[in-house]
């Protein structure tokens, strides 16, 4: 029997067409669904961002100045920062509608207080100094503005419950200091302290050997890794630094309160300030009051029958009213804020070499900018980035005057970029100098072999191909090679300072060696020209412009531009910036060295720490 098998070609083609058509529809539907989900995701993201931004701005109204009122300065709601910035929208949301902490630029704060001194609508300043947040320089400059306000014939009245070093320093400028009569407050006004942390013992236990190559007997950056206690030179400079900072504050506090510095130090050394009554007895406050009594005192000064009649405007709102850009002025003073670690690349939150070089180049090409203020608040960092920034500043100086203003820090790389400026204004409390360099290379071989029991066998094309991998110690030849690099950079650094400050290299070397100086000390040895605020520097820069009699005659423009709320939101969604050691004594160490571990053998010009004021 012959069996024939036939294929119905027509049916096969139809079935193939139908199957293919179904597959195409399936693919199209899948792609459409994926595209829809992707679009929905983006829409949802931007709707969420918009919602957060809208909620964060809820309740914001244009400030209104009463016809007659009090300028209320509550330091617990202000961060004295380098630039005025928008409040973090997530903090605003987390606050549940409560008043948030606003970053207020120190120049904006100073201008507002100065304007209030001549504003007939402002009767006096009511200062609540507790909770002050800011660095030495910002607190110092703000206090100077309060002094100027008083010099104009108006009163500053303060009220404190939990005095600290920074808050009492501000309060001491006042005509009257009221303090709560209730027990239970905490006195943190005890003098200035800094802690030096050393990690050698724990690193030894972990089998980690940090190899430090440096020039400068005072260049203590990196010393925490190779010692378990401070060297004599390091201790000497830290003692001198703390004493200089405290002496400056103690003298002003004592003068304001009509007591001697010796008497003030005795109170603190003998822990004589325990209760509110002690502050009153020692002459540090003028009266102890309950909340109701405080309100009555404010009514008396204001000349009002009840507290509801005492109209007030916050410093934040007053600054918005008074800090208007003079768009009518054709000539500009550019203020470039070099705030943060000096790093390579284009990082937004630091003084990134490539980014700042581009900013400075743009300022140089702007013909409407007639003078520049370089506001330095940096402990230093990358030598390469510092040199890129300095090279652009040198070009800028050829066509415009460049005036430096120092904040909390202008040290190491921060001093490198600014030493050649036409004039340097420093705060008395600025930490500057630190003219020295170092390189830090970890050796993890002990940890790998003895702790982790991991053996490493290098395979190299050349004798020293693996010298930077951190898995073996440097040999003598490699150490000499690294030392030669550090010495070359140190010679370059001292040469830059010598040229910029009209000194010999030998004179610079005498005050260098990595030594940290306060601004008041730096003035005496020629590292800065004048003790002054950012306002002084901007005024000086304005006066170099033909036809200008001061800062009011020019337009002040700031670089880099502060982040907007939308930019902060997008950055927050882009990744976390949390710290490992946030809220611990090691947080300042993490801030100081978070960039060092990733690039072995790199040469740095940086302070060994960052200081926080309580």
| DSSP code per residue over 360-424 | HHHHHH-TTEEEEEEEEEE-EEEHHHHHHHHHHHHHHHTTS-EEEEEEEEEETHHHHTTTTSSEE
Closest listed residue to residue 442, CA positions, set 464, 472, 420, 462: 472
What pLDDT digit, counting tens, does each position of 530-563 carry? 999 999 999 999 999 999 999 999 999 999 987 6
Using the predicted structure, report yes or no on whether residue 39 has a pLDDT greater than 90: no
What pLDDT digit, counting tens, does each position of 266-312 carry? 999 999 999 999 999 999 999 999 999 999 999 999 999 999 999 99
As a whole number, mean pLDDT of residues 204-228 equals: 91
Using the predicted structure, report yes or no on whether residue 194 has a pLDDT greater than 50: yes
Please, where in the chain does CATH 3.90.226.10 lie?
69-189+273-322, 332-606
How far apart CA 385 and CA 380 sit, in angstroms, is: 10
Using the predicted structure, report yes or no on whether residue 103 has a pLDDT greater than 70: yes
- The strand pair at 155-160 and 351-352 is best described as unpaired
How far apart CA 464 and CA 500 sit, in angstroms, is: 38
- The strand pair at 431-433 and 516-518 is best described as antiparallel
How would DSSP label each residue in 500-562? HHT--HHHHHHH-TT-EEEHHHHHHTTS-SEE--HHHHHHHHHHTSTT--SGGGSEEEEESPP
As a whole number, mean pLDDT of residues 583-599 equals: 53
Question: What tokens were used for 277?
Answer: 């009554």
Inter-CA distances, 170 with 141, 143, 193, 456, 576, Å: 10, 6, 18, 58, 35
As a whole number, mean pLDDT of residues 349-363 equals: 96
Give the pLDDT score at 406. 98
Question: What tokens were used for 505?
Answer: 């290299």
Angle, CA 338 vertex, CA 335 and CA 343 arms, to 5°: 150
Using the predicted structure, report yes or no on whether residue 79 has a pLDDT greater than 70: yes
Helix (H, G, I), strand (E, B) or coil at 430: coil
- Among the four given CATH numbers 3.60.21.10, 3.90.226.10, 3.40.640.10, 3.20.20.70, the one describing domain 332-606: 3.90.226.10
Question: What tokens were used for 193?
Answer: 């302290």
How far apart CA 142 and CA 259 sit, in angstroms, is: 23
Strands, E assignment, 22-86: 69-74, 78-81
Using the predicted structure, report yes or no on whether residue 313 has a pLDDT greater than 70: yes
Question: What tokens were used for 89?
Answer: 């929208």
Fold of 69-189+273-322: 2-enoyl-CoA Hydratase; Chain A, domain 1 (3.90.226)
- The DSSP H or E segment spanning 127 is strand 122-128
């Amino acid at each position: 029997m012959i069996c024939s098998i036939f294929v119905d070609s027509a049916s096969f083609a139809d079935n193939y067409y139908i199957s293919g058509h179904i597959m195409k529809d399936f693919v199209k539907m899948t792609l459409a669904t994926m595209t829809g989900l992707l679009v929905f995701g983006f829409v949802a993201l931007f709707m969420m961002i918009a919602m957060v931004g809208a909620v964060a701005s809820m309740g914001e109204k244009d400030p209104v100045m009463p016809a007659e009122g009090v300028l209320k300065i509550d330091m617990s709601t202000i961060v004295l920062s380098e630039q005025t910035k928008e409040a973090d929208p997530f903090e605003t949301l987390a606050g549940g509608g409560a008043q948030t902490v606003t970053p207020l630029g120190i120049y904006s704060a100073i201008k507002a207080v100065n304007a209030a001194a001549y504003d007939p609508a402002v009767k006096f300043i009511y200062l609540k100094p507790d909770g002050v947040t800011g660095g030495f320089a910002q607190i110092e400059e703000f206090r100077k503005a309060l002094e100027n306000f008083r010099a104009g014939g108006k009163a500053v009245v303060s009220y404190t419950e939990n005095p600290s070093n920074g808050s009492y320093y501000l309060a001491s400028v006042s005509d009257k200091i009221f303090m709560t009569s209730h027990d239970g407050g905490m006195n943190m006004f005890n003098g200035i302290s800094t802690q030096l942390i050393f990690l050698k013992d724990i690193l030894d236990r972990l089998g980690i050997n940090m190899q430090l190559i440096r020039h400068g007997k005072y260049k203590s950056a990196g010393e925490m890794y190779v010692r378990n206690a401070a060297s004599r030179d390091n201790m000497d400079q830290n003692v001198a630094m703390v004493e200089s900072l405290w002496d400056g504050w103690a003298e002003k506090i004592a003068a304001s309160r009509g007591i001697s510095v010796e008497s003030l130090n005795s109170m603190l050394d003998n822990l004589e300030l325990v209760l509110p009554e002690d502050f009153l007895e020692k002459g540090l406050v003028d009266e102890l009051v309950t909340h109701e009594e405080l309100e009555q005192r404010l009514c008396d000064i204001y000349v009002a029958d009840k507290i509801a009649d005492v109209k007030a405007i916050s410093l934040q709102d007053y600054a918005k009213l008074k800090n208007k850009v003079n768009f009518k002025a054709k000539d500009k003073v550019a203020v470039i804020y070099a705030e943060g670690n000096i790093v390579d690349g284009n990082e937004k939150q630091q003084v990134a070499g490539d980014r700042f070089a581009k900013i400075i180049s743009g300022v140089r090409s702007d013909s409407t900018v007639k003078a520049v203020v370089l506001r330095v608040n940096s402990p230093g960092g990358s030598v390469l980035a510092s040199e890129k920034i300095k090279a652009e500043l040198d070009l800028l100086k050829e066509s415009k005057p460049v005036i430096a203003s120092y904040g909390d820090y202008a040290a190491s790389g921060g001093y490198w970029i600014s030493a050649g400026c036409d004039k340097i204004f420093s705060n008395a409390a600025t930490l500057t100098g630190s003219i020295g360099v170092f390189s830090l290379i970890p050796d993890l071989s002990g940890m790998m072999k003895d702790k982790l029991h991991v053996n490493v066998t290098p395979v190299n094309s050349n004798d020293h191909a693996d010298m930077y991998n951190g898995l073996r110690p440097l040999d003598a030849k490699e150490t000499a090679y690294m030392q030669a690099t550090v010495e070359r950079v140190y010679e370059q650094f001292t040469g830059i300072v010598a040229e910029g400050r009209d000194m010999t290299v030998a004179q610079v070397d005498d005050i260098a060696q990595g030594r940290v100086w306060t601004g008041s000390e730096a003035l005496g040895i020629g590292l800065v020209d004048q003790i002054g605020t950012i306002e002084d520097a901007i005024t000086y820069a304005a006066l170099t412009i033909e036809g200008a009699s001061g800062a009011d005659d020019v337009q002040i423009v700031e670089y880099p531009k502060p982040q907007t709320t939308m930019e902060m939101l997008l950055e927050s969604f882009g990744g976390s910036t949390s710290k490992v050691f946030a809220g611990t004594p090691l947080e300042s160490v993490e801030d100081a060295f978070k960039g060092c571990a990733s690039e072995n053998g790199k040469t740095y010009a940086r302070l060994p720490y960052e200081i926080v004021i309580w």
